[in-house]
Structure 1
Amino acid sequence: MKVTLEKLPASQIGFDIQVEGAKSQAIYDRIVKDLTRTIQVPGFRKGKAPKQLVLRQVGTDRIRVNVLEELIEKALEEALKENKEVQEKALGNFELVSDLTELVVGFVPGQEISFKAAIDVDPEVTLPRHKGFTVHAEEIKPDFAKVDSTLHSFQVRKSTLVPVEDRPIQVDDVATIDLKVIDLETGEPIEDAGEEDFQLDVNEKAFIPEVVRAIIGANLDQVIELESTFPEEYYPEEYVGKPIRYVITIKTIKGRELPALDDEFAQSISDKQTIAELRELLETQVIEEAESKTKSNQQNAVLNAITAEIEFDIPKTLIQQELDFLVRQQVNFLEQQVDPTMLKQLFTKELVEEMRRLSYPEAITRIKRKIALDEIIKREGLQVDQVQLKEKVDNAMEYFREQGQSQTIDRKKLIAVVTEEILTENALDWLVENSEIELVAEGSLAEKAQPPQISETEVAPDGTVTIEATASDAE
């Protein structure tokens, strides 16, 4: 067998292969022999029919296709083994470049055959520099107002509803309303869009914001009319965007009696003994959240800087793998939100293809970032702390045991995943430490172009597996 290699675009290596006739003849003879032994020909006992009758019953074209497919598969395996350097960098499977139909038409067992195939390989990276970047990143200051809003939300949950007749509707009340939705084009009510005796939390996060705003300040038995357009994500979907009129009748109003923000309240919603301790905990969480977002902004800023300089051809295999991952993430999310029966109807081939198309820019960004971080790991010889690795793997295994999933987890594969995660984090930390980052006010970079959000899968210190979305902020 003769093999000629050729470097191709998109990080591929081409294989031009010539296979001597003896190999195809040997495969042909074995397949025919196996068929003669197993095919039942009318009038003959199994394995006793003449070869020509077996060939006539099976069909010579089918046999030639089987011989050719096996010949190509074995030739490619052998060619890859003979070229260790390519084998070590190979990604995915071979792609047959030659036209299979033409090969079948011209194929004669026992005669030499030539064909071409290609395989994706690790890209050759050009990176003029991998440190010393100067970037800006937004500094997120702790928003301590979140402490009060969090406490208030818990007060609302713990509140007691009391009928109200002597004042108009306020935020956080609970109102019972009759809601009609009129189609302005026909003047008729839209069936299934309205509801009688609908109990509504007077909070813009709880229902259509403009409806909530319209009833604030309304009195008992008042009728409010409001022209608008049918909102997205509401049923029936065919009315979305059409002109409508809401007709809202206020039937009852209930106010909330909020519990006092005292030590008893703190004990009822947490393991803290005093309201002061609870406030301190919430303030710490707000500070940690701000620090985490600032760190994420710093990481994204230097990642954007290094990926702007890196150059390489992206193999199709990496793109397909990344698209598979991103689509799987979306499917996993929807599985938790949508009824399984509806989900099967929802996920058509066309929808999945559209999801892949829309995910393409994010996939390219993720690949570039990973290649850049891999290059840092290689150039700087970054290593994994074995104590840290063991601790993370043990925590993850404990989590899976608690979930009853430990039997399905391959520890070796888990070690590989956690190792890659730690190396990636080490590379990010190294990149941040070896760059000059100027922190600027939150929102000051908002108008500048931003890459799509990047989702990272990680095993948390307590063993939980999470998907974390981080917005990119760059100079």
Structure 2
Amino acid sequence: MSKILKKEKNVVTLEFTVSPEEFENAVNKAYLKIKNSINVQGFRKGKAPRHIIEKKYGKSIFYDDALDFAVQEEYPKAVAEHNLDVIDSPKVNVEKFEEGQDIVISAEVEVMPEVELCEYKGIEVEKTEIKVTDEDVERELKAIQEKNARIVEVSDRAVQNGDFLTIDYAGFVGEEQFEGGTAENQSLEIGSNTFIPGFEEQLIGKNKDEEAEINVTFPEEYHSEELKGKAAIFKVKIHEIKTKELPAIDDEFAKDISEFDTLEELKADTKSNLEKKAADQAKIANDNNVITKIVNESKVDVPEVLITREIDYLGRNYEQQFRQQGFAGKEYDDIIKNFVDQYKEGARSQAEFNVKAELVLEAIIKKEEIKVTEEETAEEVAKVAESYQVEADRLEAFKQSILESSRAYIEETLQKRKVIDMLVAGAVFVEPKVQEAAAEEEK
């Protein structure tokens, strides 16, 4: 039997009892757990009867473990009895303990907070529109032009900004050549700022086969302790000078890079594609605007434990991004940990919003009784299976394995998708107020 003693915000204090019979069972479990670690003269280790151990060490030798067993048995029953949605481990306290009587135990536990939803149906949201301009089209064509550029060798002029060089170099601090400062046939794009500050600029005006001495000073934040802030000289030889040759943006260009015969056709198609992307981006922005406004206007005390978990989750994702970029060795562990720790320090507001959004959407799903059908689940499973390109003879078995391992996640994802679609469909989109404000300023 259990009861709720008090409830403050999302913290509930439960009280439940353990009968003498239930505690006796728990004591016996404790005996079986620890008997192998107790030495009693005259008995092989682990073979001493319970009453002999109790006589030698006292009955209380089993009580701590027995109370743990009793709580593990009775606490979940109390939670289920009061239909509590628990989000953290309980703080347990023994309130009354007398042999032969009911043991009284209290448990303080955090539960999911109540959500006070705003009036989300018909909520007004400023509409996001992304317009594609002629400048956008020109920018896209220039990007395509860059991708189709040829790198050609130059022999009749000196190095210019933007050129691609092949060089040998050797670095010296004083008269001593330093480790890691030497390379042969190294590629370098002038203006890329990939070398030490000042290095690339000093190669401008030099010629092919010319040798030059480049004077630089290593930054104070340089990764090598031996070189931080040190003046150095690099002896450089230029083997090749190459430049980027861009094709003219004309009808021939259109024919070379597309199925179109004229530049005008290519421009029209480019604009159409940009408008489709803009429409997709605007939809995502408008969906986010609706959800953000509903979340911000709803009220909920976000539990600290959920914020902490979300910060840890965001940190793990951030670390994974580094690992996927190739920073996988042990030599990167300390560097990545430092970046992740810094990221987590600034991630609190995002984590708090993420948790609040989750709680608000779950509350709306519950209120609107949004369900997912078997057909919808099966359709989503089919899409997931298709993305893996599984052989036809293994497809059904693969779908079944997805259902068995990920049904809850898939259904939850579909529920959220449906609730977001419902909220966006019910929103009223209005023109941004910026234009009105600007008009007032003109007056």
- TM-score calculated relative to the size of structure 1: 0.69
CA distance, structure 1, for counterparts of residue 67 and residue 53 of structure 2:
19
Contact 1:138 1:441 in 2 (8 A): no
Aligned amino acid, residue 366 of structure 1: N
- State the number of aligned residues: 422
Q: Does 1:18 align with 2:17?
A: yes
One-letter identity of the residue aligned with 1:230? P
- Cα RMSD (Å) of the superposition? 4.8
Name the residue aligned to 2:291: 303
Structure-2 residue corresponding to 1:164: 155
Write out per-residue CA displacement over residues 182-225 of structure 1, whole angstroms, 9 at most, x where no aligned residue. Answer: 88xx9998753675643113463x83696697368533248586
Is 1:411 matched up with 2:403?
yes
Residues 393, 414 of structure 1: 8 Å contact kept = no
Tell me which of 219, 222, 227 is aligned to 1:230. 219
Q: Cα deviations across residues 359-387 of structure 1 (Å, max 9, x unaligned)? A: 32211111222233334444455555766
Contact 1:230 1:244 in 2 (8 A): no
User: What residue in structure 2 maps to residue 472 of structure 1?
Assistant: none
CA separation of 1:231/1:63 partners in 2, compared to 1, >3 Å: closer, same or farther?
Answer: same
Q: Deviation string for 1:82-126 (max 9, x for gaps)?
A: 22x32xxx133531243xxxx59x966645433322333332111
C-alpha distance after superposition, 1:222-247 (max 9, x if no partner): 85868777397x7438977x587786
Superposed displacement of residue 428, structure 1: 3.2
Question: Which residue number in structure 2 is paired with residue 454 of structure 1?
Answer: none
2:431 aligns with one of 428, 431, 438:
438
Using a 3 Å threshold, how does the CA distance of structure 1 residues 309 and 33 change in structure 2: closer, same or farther? closer
Tell me the equivalent position of 1:253: 241
- Contact conserved, 1:120 with 1:316, CA < 8 A, in 2? no
8 Å CA contact 1:21–1:110 kept in 2: the answer is yes
Question: Are 1:170 and 1:202, in contact at CA under 8 Å, matched by a contact in 2?
Answer: yes
Which aligned pairs between 1:171-210 and structure 2 lie closer than 5 A? 171=162, 173-177=163-167, 191-192=179-180, 195=183, 197-202=185-190, 204=192, 207=194
Question: Cα distance, 1:155 vs. partner?
Answer: 1.4
Identity %: 22
CA gap of 1:264–1:238, structure 2 versus 1, over 3 A, is farther
1:340 corresponds to which residue?
A: 328
1:129 maps to which residue? 119
The verdict on how the C-alpha distance between 1:36 and 1:179 changes in structure 2, with shifts beyond 3 A counting, is closer
Deviation sequence 1:282-312 (CA, Å, 0-9, x none):
5444323322322233233333322222111
> Where does structure 2 lack aligned partners over 5 or more consecutive residues?
438-443
1:286 to 274, 282, 289: 274
**Alpha-carbon separation, structure 1, partners of 2:370 and 2:260:** 45
Matched, 1:113 2:98: no
Aligned residue in 1 for 2:8: 8
Offset at residue 6 of structure 1 (A): 2.0
- Summarize the Cα distance change of 1:247–1:137 in structure 2 as closer, same or farther, 3 Å threshold: farther
Does the 8 Å CA contact 1:24/1:111 hold for their aligned counterparts? Answer: no
TM-score by length of 2: 0.73
Is the Cα–Cα contact under 8 Å of residues 146 and 246 in structure 2 kept in the other structure? no
Distance 2:116 2:235 in 1: 64
Check conservation: 1:22, 1:111, Cα contact below 8 A: no
Alignment of 1:374-453 (within 5 A): 374-382=362-370, 384=372, 389-400=377-388, 402=390, 406=398, 410-412=402-404, 414-433=406-425, 434-439=427-432
Residue of structure 2 in register with 1:154 after alignment: 147
Separation in structure 1 between the aligned mates of residue 168 and residue 127 of structure 2, nearest angstrom:
50
Preserved contact between residue 219 and residue 250 of structure 1 (Cα < 8 Å): no
- Name the residue aligned to 1:455: none
Is the CA contact (8 Å cut-off) linking 2:164 and 2:242 kept in structure 1? yes
1:425 is paired with a residue of what secondary structure?
Answer: helix
**Aligned residue in 2 for 1:470:** none
2 CA distance for matches of 1:139 and 1:187? 62
Which aligned pairs between 1:74-85 and structure 2 lie closer than 5 A? 74-83=73-82, 85=83
CA contact under 8 A between 1:14 and 1:116: conserved in structure 2?
yes
Given that residues 382 and 399 in structure 2 are in contact (C-alpha distance below 8 angstroms), is that contact kept between their aligned partners in structure 1?
A: no
Q: Is the 8 A contact 1:136 1:438 kept in 2?
A: yes
- 8 Å contact kept, 1:192–1:236: no
Q: Is the 8 A contact 2:196 2:218 kept in 1?
A: no
Report the equivalent of 1:313: 301
**Contact kept in structure 2, 1:327 and 1:356, CA below 8 Å:** yes
- SS of the residue 2:354 aligns to: helix
User: Which whole-Å CA distance do the structure 2 matches of 1:238 and 1:360 have between them?
Assistant: 38
Q: CA deviation at 1:394?
A: 0.7
Q: How far, CA to CA, are the matches of 2:122 and 2:329 in structure 1?
A: 53
- Unaligned runs of 5+ residues in structure 1 are 445-475
Partner residue in 1 for 2:65:
66
How many angstroms apart in 1 are the aligned matches of 2:400 and 2:337?
29
Asked whether the 8 Å contact 1:64–1:107 carries over to 2, the reply is no
